[in-house]
Amino acid sequence: MKVRKESTNEDTTHADKRATSTTRTKKLKTTRNVEIGWIHSDKNKAKQVRGKQGGGTRKVQLENDAGLEEILQAGKKLFFPDGISPKGSESDFEFEVWDFKQNRLTNDTCLSIGTMYETVRLTMLRFYIATKPKELEDDASETSEVLLVSAHSGFENHSAEVQVEDVIGDFDGVHSALEMSVVSEITFGPIYGVEDDTEDTLIFEGLTMPASPTHPEEVITIAIHHANTLHDMITAFSDAEILNKTLKVTRILPDNTEEAGSGSGVLRDVLSCFWHEFYDRCSLGATVKVPFIRHDFPAETWKAVGRILVKGYEDCQYLPNKLALPFLEQVLFNNVYSDLKEHFLHFVSNQEREVLIEAMTDFSAVD
């Protein structure tokens, strides 16, 4: 506020000169800061290497016109000093460069760093150096042939390994074919403006749902009582396998008869009923809601609620929009990007909001 008051009393000409000076300073910048991390693909998982294992996220300065090759060389210097890393020699790996969305970059798609900053408008660009052992691709065909011969001799476990090796052999397809690891933190989207190290997070590897199932065991039917939706949904989603099955829902009315109708419409109604009951019984807030810790909700119950959130969005794009945006960002991205203060003012009551707004304007004038 002090800066704002002083600026109104300054001479317009002086302000123009200062703006011109700032513009010239920006034009003179020839380097930009970027973050570089390391993702290593081993067996059937692609995981970000932690700092204590020689990885982490490092900040470096690169020229504005730097491209794919410069980013790759900078990453090798960081994680493979003198050509050696904790995971092996540089010559033992194949290298790629991924952008902040974990998409593979090529010479055609990788623009200069300056151009990318102008395009994506992020405060900090992040790149990943992606590695995988060379022998996985070189020996894939030979391994498959040997294991297939063994499978005919009665070693069923070897035939299962053939499928894994075949998937890993195609480096371009690794990212989409990986199985999701069960961890507390998963990176779903871009990470920017973060000062702390996110080395403990795994890369989001996709929640691929089966298409129209060909086997009856891939379909699961759950019965939800209209008067007890919250409890019935949490009970049904306590089994993690429900995420890998096609879900069908039947609704039991208060008179104990089954509601007519089927398909995604019934699922949307059940999800809407569940989240409204969840707002009332498990969250606090005025306009926006934030869940609170309940003594009768152990960790497994909260995991079931998380599966309901994921399944609802995957099957019918249902997202509980009354949940506070900073809370959802922390859950999904392990960081808050939106304005905490703005959303907090919607969390508190109208009377408290007025007092807080007045205090931010003139603290000494508030009773």
Note whether residue 223 is domain-resident: yes
pLDDT for 190 equals 47
Between 275 and 30, name the one with better pLDDT.
275
For residue 29, the 8-state DSSP code is -
Whether residue 231 sits in one domain with residue 141? no
Final residue before a domain boundary, out of 203, 224, 242 = 203
pLDDT of residue 38: 87
Residues 155 and 225 in one domain: no
- Secondary structure of residue 64 in the 3-state scheme: coil
- Flag whether the pTM goes above 0.85: no
DSSP 145-203: HHHHHHHHTT-HHHHHHHHHHHHHH-GGGHHHHPPPP--S-EE-S---S--S--TTPEE
Q: Are residues 142 and 247 in the same domain?
A: no
Q: Is residue 359 part of a domain?
A: no
Domain-embedded: residue 50: yes
Nearest residue to 58 via CA among 199, 191, 189, 186: 199
Residues 42 and 190 in one domain: yes
C-beta separation of 38 from 131 below 8 A: yes
- CATH number, domain of 258, equals 3.90.1750.10
**117/259 same-domain check:** no
**What burial class does residue 312 get, using C-beta atoms within 10 Å of its C-beta: 0-12 exposed, 13-18 middle, 19+ buried?**
buried
Pair (199, 225) in one structural domain: no
- Other beta carbons less than 10 A from residue 287's beta carbon: 14
Indicate whether 108 and 256 sit together in one domain.
Answer: no
191 & 220 share domain: no
Q: Does 176 score more than 70 pLDDT?
A: no
DSSP 289: B
- 63 and 86 share a domain? yes
Domain extent, residue 161, equals 27-203
The answer, yes or no, to whether residue 210 has pLDDT greater than 70, is: no
Question: How far is C-alpha 268 from the chain's CA centre?
Answer: 24
Residue 357: inside a domain, yes or no?
A: no
**Would 329 be classed as within a structural domain?**
no
Write the pLDDT tens digit of every residue in 289-311.
Answer: 999 998 999 999 999 999 999 99
Q: Residue 188's pLDDT is what?
A: 45
- The first and second tokens of residue 320, run together, are 């509980």
Total domain count, the chain:
2
The answer to whether residues 188 and 259 belong to one domain is no
The yes-or-no verdict on residue 279 having pLDDT over 60 is yes
Domain assignment present for residue 2? The answer is: no
% of the chain residues with pLDDT over 90 = 32
Q: Which residues pair with 32 in a beta bridge?
A: 62
pLDDT tier for residue 194 given thresholds of 50, 70 and 90? very low
40, 145: one domain: yes
Tell me, yes or no, whether 222 and 191 share the same domain.
Answer: no
Average pLDDT score, the chain: 76
Say which range, 175-184, 208-217, 256-265, 288-297, has the weakest mean pLDDT. 175-184
